[in-house]
Structure 1
Amino acid sequence: MMLKLSQPNISEEAIAAVADVIRSGQLVHGTENEAFEKELAAYLGCEDVVLVSSGTAALHLALLALDIGPNDAVLVPDFTFPATANAVALVGARPVIVDVDPNTYTLSARQLEAVIQTWKGPERLRAIMPVHEFGCPADMQEINRIAKAHGLFVVEDAACALGATFQGRKLGTLGDIGCFSFHPRKTLTTGEGGALCTNDAELARRLRRLRNHGMERTASGMQFFEPATNYRLTNFQAALGRHQLPQLDGWIERRSALAKAYCELLQPLAQTGRLSLPSLIPGHSWQTFMVVLDGLADRNAIILQLRNEGVEANLGAQSLSSIGLYGPVAQDLKYGPLLYQHGLALPLFEKLSLSDVQHVVKALGTLISI
């Protein structure tokens, strides 16, 4: 039996709730969506949540709602899934790639400041898009300070970070707009799906309009206000998400305990220098657990060998600069490419047992000690 990298946690009650919605015939945006938006807003401690069809849709709508487009530039971290930069490119703006912190894998505030100070591109810097990679909070205090000093919007890519916190506040609520994903690799999943959150009522109103063909209900009926998308989440997907939300904090607590166990068991290997461990940052939601192998290890070979031991593993995320799709970079990038080349994601989900973690660590230790 293969120990999977990730595994959705969907109860029979959640499946029954989805079936009830399907039987009702109300499949598109409906009462489940409205309820889920309110429940998510209460959970996050924000004024408005807007459900959409994916995390990428959330990022795209956030930039559209802020009127970011051609001749603009958005600062993004190097180590992330390409959806972060793709959303910027989709609105015609330029992704400006900034290096990350090697211990948290998130946007380096020091490098961010340096890129802004030395920016000479023809585009106007408009926003910072920090990614809370794998559920680890970026340094939002410093990022918001920098954004305020330079008049920039902050769009949090919290795709992996629903339920994670920074200084007691939920991630996604610390900037102008927060964006979430409900992909099956995320702790709470609706299959595909996503959400945005904001405390700006006018932004929320426009986001709802932009996800639904530019339409808005008025006293005289539905009217079209601008060309827009169809990024609605279905009513049955919302039902699936609603039934997981009450369990989310407990799942995060379990993941945190498993991440701590991984770090303790892998510490002897870390002391030899064969790998480095992620920082146990307060507020981390641990959507993924990734170690960084040393330069002697052949990661791709180790992934195949772990599979032979019944363990699924993979790379963690991509380096935007290494992909080479987003134009010239504004600085020398060290850690994003390193994490991309040597990062190894190991199984982590709340139903994982301590003996499973021990099995993974033993298998990995045998392979990299050869």
Structure 2
Amino acid sequence: MIKLSQPQIPESAISRVGDILRSGQLVHGEECLAFEKELAEYLGAKHVLVVSNGTAALHVALLSLGVGQGDAVIVPDFTFTATANIVEMTGAKAVIVDVESSSYNMCPKLLEERIVSWQGPEKLKAIMPVLEFGNPKNLKLYRAIADKYNLKLIEDAACALGASDGDAKVGTVGDFGCFSFHPRKTLTTGEGGAIVTNDDTLHKKAMLFRNHGMERSDKGIEFKSIGLNYRLTNFQAAIGRAILPELNDWITKRRALANRYTDLLSPIVAQGLITLPNIVDGHSVQTYMIVLSQRFERIEVIKALRAKKVESNLGAQSMSSLNLFNHSRNIENSFVEGSYLYTHGLALPLHEGMSNDDVEFVVNELSVALYGL
């Protein structure tokens, strides 16, 4: 089976995890502090906090910005449901904006229209764009729009560690950047995530929310605020530290595989059977998702590929299609692109352990499946 995704864990990480397990120092500690420092250096950021998962990173960012009851946060239609879920869990409302058909990212034009036409009753407080599948397109534009309308910007960069928009690393443009280290991500710690900020005050708030509101001083432990337990473990951090030096090379390999897909799939595109993602400069290519034409039922394509030992799946969900965020600010709008990507997007296998031969096999079997359906 050619897997959709396959975590690559270096032997050095496995050995180091064994050392940590034998030491008994399992919880958040020196490995986490070292990982935070190395991530900050890699990103060119002032502060990094590692946390238990990507959703926790988003939650801490929202809480640190004071988002809650009576507020609204703009999110894209096409994303994993955690993006909108966590906004609603704070008591705020997730306000949906449709995405672009080629980048799969939030449409800046529709974003600005939604801001200008906003009438509440909630206070519009932040924009939370997703850099879908590692695509950095529009990131600096989102920052400019946020600044223009005095809104906060949280980058949901769950899939995008290592991506960049020009000279800016994804995760460093917003008030906060949030990453996931889930096994589907290029850098994985099993579960895990990170919060990035260049703001000292926000960093201090986030530290408190991450760890029960506790602060250590010469007086011992003091509880400064209500908080949560979103810490990463030492042995997870050790895995991340071992992978980080490999990340840029792995992204280069992913981009080469994605370009190979694009070349080999061009005859199917010419037949009008699929469209392809736009792999832009700085893209980290966490997932390669094509979009099927209306004539296909995606589940039938998935079954046909699975029969040939090729794993494929949907790319992400459409927030407007889930019937979970049906307050009036959303149901009065249409979300053509996001809903279509949800029903017809097909993620193909892509990971740094693949070869060009693997890509050719996937494309051949996809061709057979599409022409046979």
Please give the TM-score of this superposition, normalised by the length of structure 2. Answer: 0.98
In the alignment, what sits opposite 1:84? 83
Stretch moving more, 114-123 or 302-311: 114-123
SS in 1 for 2:73: strand
In the alignment, what sits opposite 1:285? 284
**What do residues 168-189 of structure 1 show as CA deviations (whole Å, max 9, x unaligned)?**
2110101100000000000000
Residue 327 (structure 1) shift: 2.1
1:336 lines up with 2:338 in the alignment? yes
Contact 1:72 1:125 in 2 (8 A): yes
Contact 1:107 1:138 in 2 (8 A): no
Contact 1:137 1:171 in 2 (8 A): yes
In the alignment, what sits opposite 2:351? 349
Contact 1:28 1:235 in 2 (8 A): yes
In the alignment, what sits opposite 1:24? 23
SS in 2 for 1:344: strand
1:232 lines up with 2:240 in the alignment? no
Counterpart residue type for residue 46 of structure 1:
A
Counterpart residue type for residue 299 of structure 2:
N
Residue 219 (structure 1) shift: 3.3
SS in 1 for 2:124: strand
Contact 2:137 2:280 in 1 (8 A): no
Counterpart residue type for residue 140 of structure 1:
L
Distance 2:250 2:167 in 1: 18
Stretch moving more, 228-237 or 137-146: 137-146
**What do residues 255-314 of structure 1 show as CA deviations (whole Å, max 9, x unaligned)?**
000000000000111111100000121100010000000000110011011000010000
Counterpart residue type for residue 295 of structure 2:
L
In the alignment, what sits opposite 1:364? 366
Residue 324 (structure 1) shift: 1.3
In the alignment, what sits opposite 2:241? 242
In the alignment, what sits opposite 1:97? 96
Distance 1:353 1:139 in 2: 31
Contact 2:67 2:92 in 1 (8 A): yes
| Paired residues, number | 369
In the alignment, what sits opposite 2:62? 63
Residue 53 (structure 1) shift: 0.1
Distance 1:38 1:198 in 2: 13
Distance 1:188 1:143 in 2: 25
Distance 2:250 2:241 in 1: 15
SS in 2 for 1:227: coil
Counterpart residue type for residue 358 of structure 1:
E
Residue 121 (structure 1) shift: 2.5
Contact 2:183 2:191 in 1 (8 A): yes
In the alignment, what sits opposite 2:127? 128
Distance 2:259 2:81 in 1: 28
SS in 2 for 1:13: helix
1:112 lines up with 2:114 in the alignment? no
Question: Identity rate of aligned residues, in percent?
Answer: 54
Residue 331 (structure 1) shift: 2.4
In the alignment, what sits opposite 1:159? 158
CA 1:178–1:334: 2 relative to 1, 3 Å:
same
SS in 1 for 2:5: coil
Residue 19 (structure 1) shift: 0.7
Residue 87 (structure 1) shift: 1.1
Distance 1:37 1:145 in 2: 28
Contact 1:58 1:179 in 2 (8 A): yes
Distance 1:166 1:196 in 2: 18
SS in 2 for 1:131: coil
Taking the TM superposition and a 5 Å limit, the aligned residue runs for 1:190-269 are 190-269=189-268
Distance 1:12 1:144 in 2: 40
Residue 364 (structure 1) shift: 0.6
Taking the TM superposition and a 5 Å limit, the aligned residue runs for 1:297-336 are 297-328=296-327, 329=330, 331-336=333-338
SS in 1 for 2:96: strand
The two structures, once aligned, show a CA RMSD in angstroms of: 0.8
Distance 2:11 2:174 in 1: 36
Structure 2 unaligned blocks of 5 or more:
none
Stretch moving more, 132-141 or 323-332: 323-332
Residue 67 (structure 1) shift: 0.5
SS in 2 for 1:369: helix
Contact 1:134 1:288 in 2 (8 A): yes
Counterpart residue type for residue 365 of structure 1:
S
Residue 316 (structure 1) shift: 0.3
Contact 1:100 1:108 in 2 (8 A): yes
Runs of 4+ in 1 over 6 A off after TM superposition: none
Distance 2:84 2:55 in 1: 10
Counterpart residue type for residue 167 of structure 1:
G
Residue 138 (structure 1) shift: 3.4
**What do residues 48-97 of structure 1 show as CA deviations (whole Å, max 9, x unaligned)?**
00000000000000000001000000000000000101110111000000
1:149 lines up with 2:151 in the alignment? no
Please give the TM-score of this superposition, normalised by the length of structure 1. Answer: 0.99
Residue 365 (structure 1) shift: 0.7
SS in 1 for 2:111: helix
In the alignment, what sits opposite 1:48? 47
Contact 2:73 2:94 in 1 (8 A): yes
Distance 1:149 1:185 in 2: 35
Distance 1:108 1:314 in 2: 24
Distance 1:368 1:163 in 2: 34
Distance 1:279 1:12 in 2: 34
Distance 2:10 2:345 in 1: 32
